[in-house]
């Protein structure tokens, strides 16, 4: 019997993996009402998985551990919400005003910076860059408020119920994840069984490493940013750090948006001194560099074992195919499709496994037709 050793996915399989990821992102864009709650459910699942494992380790059954963990987490959330609700009701109007104030502060800083540049550059002065940018922003914000904002608010309101799916999904992933894995494995023919088990394990390992890495990265980012913003002297550094760290889940766009938020707050808190806003930008760039070269390789980078060129290329493809949702989903989807594609290509290309499967089918046919003459 001659065995051919699997040699990994070839270029054709990799083309298939990239194409499948793009197609999946395109489909997901049309099913966002389901995909996003599923994604948040997965994040919650991987966030709650370690405490569930600890309870299992302490002697609880999987079901009891899931019930206790989700119950305690839900109770904490409800308690936080109940504590925050009176504060939010009292400050709802001022929160809106604060948002507008920060926006105005950010725009004032931009205008001030551009005018300062105009005094030093004749080319910019002749082009009236500051006036042009100000009028563009004013027109865009007016158009956004009149045309896009109501639709956006309605969209968010329509999506809200589907987000309630996330905690339910997380609970059932925690309670029945292993059972579901066994159920899937049952559908696989004997010849491919061991390889498929390995595939399921790898998919689980990849997604777990990615999402747990993402959670660790968010905590590290939030702590570093909060500490830096506190040193600069900005208000609510912890909240700002957390918001910007969560925004960074969306590659590129999220980071820029986070930086804009920090700069707006800095410009509003210290209207007379643009140095603080520049310091905030410097801090943001420093944390991003720290993130890209230290934190990311330690957390997410290890999980996805992908070539950086493929990652960057697919981030652009994800953005082009499915917008912001594509940017958010592209890495986890690529990670899962990569594992499935690589294993499926190895399994499909193994002539011995195919022969064993054909032999098993023949045996089954013989066993059911034995008495038919």
Partner 1 sequence: MRIFGRDDEPAALQPLRQIKLFSSLSARELKVVHGLRHERQYLAGEIVFDQGDEGQAIYAIVEGEVEILRIDGGGSHRLALLAPGEVFGELALLDQAPRAAQARAHGDCRLVVFFRADFMSLLETHPKIASKIALSLARHLGGRLRQANAGARQEGHL
Q: Contact residues for partner 1 (CB under 8 A)? A: 1, 3, 53, 56-57, 62, 178, 182, 185-186, 190-191, 193-195, 197-198, 201, 352, 356, 359-360, 363-364, 367
The torsion angles phi and psi of 305, rounded to 5 degrees, stand at 40, 50
* Distance in Å, CB of 344 to partner 1, minimum: 16
Of 141 and 362, nearer to partner 1 (C-beta) is: 362
The torsion angles phi and psi of 138, rounded to 5 degrees, stand at -60, -45
261: which residues sit within 8 A by CB, 6+ positions away?
102, 240, 243, 244, 247
Of 125 and 195, nearer to partner 1 (C-beta) is: 195
Q: What's the sign of the alpha-carbon dihedral 258, 263, 268, 269?
A: positive
Q: How many CA atoms lie within 13 A of 69 on its CB side?
A: 27
Q: Is 216 exposed, middle or buried (0-12, 13-18, 19+ CB in 10 A)?
A: middle
* Distance in Å, CB of 185 to partner 1, minimum: 6
Of 182 and 302, nearer to partner 1 (C-beta) is: 182
Is the separation of the CB atoms in 159 and 33 below 8 Å? yes
DSSP assignment string, 245-282: HHHTTSTTHHHHHHHHHHHHHHHHHSTT-HHHHHHHHH
Indicate the helix (H) or strand (E) that contains 244.
helix 237-247
Cα(323)–Cα(68) distance, rounded to whole angstroms? 38
DSSP assignment string, 87-115: HHHHHHHHHHHHHHHHHHHHHHHHHHHHH
Of 80 and 358, nearer to partner 1 (C-beta) is: 358
Of 159 and 193, nearer to partner 1 (C-beta) is: 193
Of 107 and 340, nearer to partner 1 (C-beta) is: 340
* Distance in Å, CB of 6 to partner 1, minimum: 9
108: which residues sit within 8 A by CB, 6+ positions away?
267, 271
* Distance in Å, CB of 317 to partner 1, minimum: 32
* Distance in Å, CB of 170 to partner 1, minimum: 20
Question: Which two structure tokens, joined as six digits, stand for 65?
Answer: 């551990």
Of 148 and 302, nearer to partner 1 (C-beta) is: 302
* Distance in Å, CB of 72 to partner 1, minimum: 19
CA 147 to mean position of chain CA atoms? 28
Cα(272)–Cα(358) distance, rounded to whole angstroms? 78
Of 191 and 336, nearer to partner 1 (C-beta) is: 191
* Distance in Å, CB of 53 to partner 1, minimum: 6
* Distance in Å, CB of 169 to partner 1, minimum: 21
Cα(369)–Cα(365) distance, rounded to whole angstroms? 6
Of 178 and 302, nearer to partner 1 (C-beta) is: 178
Measured in residues, the chain has a length of 373
CA 342 to mean position of chain CA atoms? 23
* Distance in Å, CB of 361 to partner 1, minimum: 10
* Distance in Å, CB of 190 to partner 1, minimum: 6
Of 125 and 356, nearer to partner 1 (C-beta) is: 356
């Amino acid at each position: 019997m001659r065995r051919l050793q699997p040699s990994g996915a070839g270029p054709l399989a990799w083309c298939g993996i990239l194409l499948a990821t793009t197609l999946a992102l395109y489909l997901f864009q049309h099913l966002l009402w389901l995909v996003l709650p599923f994604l948040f459910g997965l994040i919650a699942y991987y966030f709650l998985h370690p405490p569930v494992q600890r309870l299992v380790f302490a002697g609880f059954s999987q079901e009891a551990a899931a019930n206790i963990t989700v119950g305690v987490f839900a109770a904490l959330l409800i308690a936080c919400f109940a504590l925050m609700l009176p504060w939010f009701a009292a400050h709802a109007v001022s929160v809106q005003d604060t948002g507008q104030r920060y926006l105005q502060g950010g725009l004032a800083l931009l205008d001030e910076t551009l005018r300062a540049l105009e005094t030093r550059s004749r080319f910019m002065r002749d082009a009236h860059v500051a006036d042009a940018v100000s009028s563009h922003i004013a027109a865009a914000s007016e158009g956004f408020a009149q045309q896009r904002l109501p639709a956006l608010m309605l969209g968010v309101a329509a999506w809200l119920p589907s987000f309630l799916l996330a905690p339910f999904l997380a609970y059932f992933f925690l309670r029945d994840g292993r059972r579901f894995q066994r159920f899937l494995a049952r559908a696989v023919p004997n010849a491919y069984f061991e390889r498929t088990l390995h595939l399921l394990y790898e998919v689980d390992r990849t997604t777990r490493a990615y999402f747990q890495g993402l959670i660790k990265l968010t905590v590290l980012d939030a702590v570093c940013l909060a500490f830096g913003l506190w040193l600069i002297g900005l208000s609510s550094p912890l909240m700002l750090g957390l918001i910007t760290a969560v925004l960074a889940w969306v590659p590129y766009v999220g980071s820029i948006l986070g930086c804009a938020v920090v700069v707006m707050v800095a410009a509003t808190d210290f209207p007379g001194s643009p140095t603080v806003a520049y310091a905030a930008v410097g801090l943001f760039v420093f944390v991003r560099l720290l993130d890209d070269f230290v934190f990311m390789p330690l957390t997410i980078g290890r999980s996805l074992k992908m070539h950086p060129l493929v990652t960057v290329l697919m981030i652009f493809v994800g953005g082009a195919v499915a917008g912001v949702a594509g940017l958010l989903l592209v890495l986890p989807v690529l990670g899962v499709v990569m594992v499935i594609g690589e294993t499926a290509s190895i399994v499909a290309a193994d002539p011995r496994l195919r022969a064993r499967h054909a032999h098993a089918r023949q045996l089954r046919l013989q066993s059911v037709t034995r008495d038919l003459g």
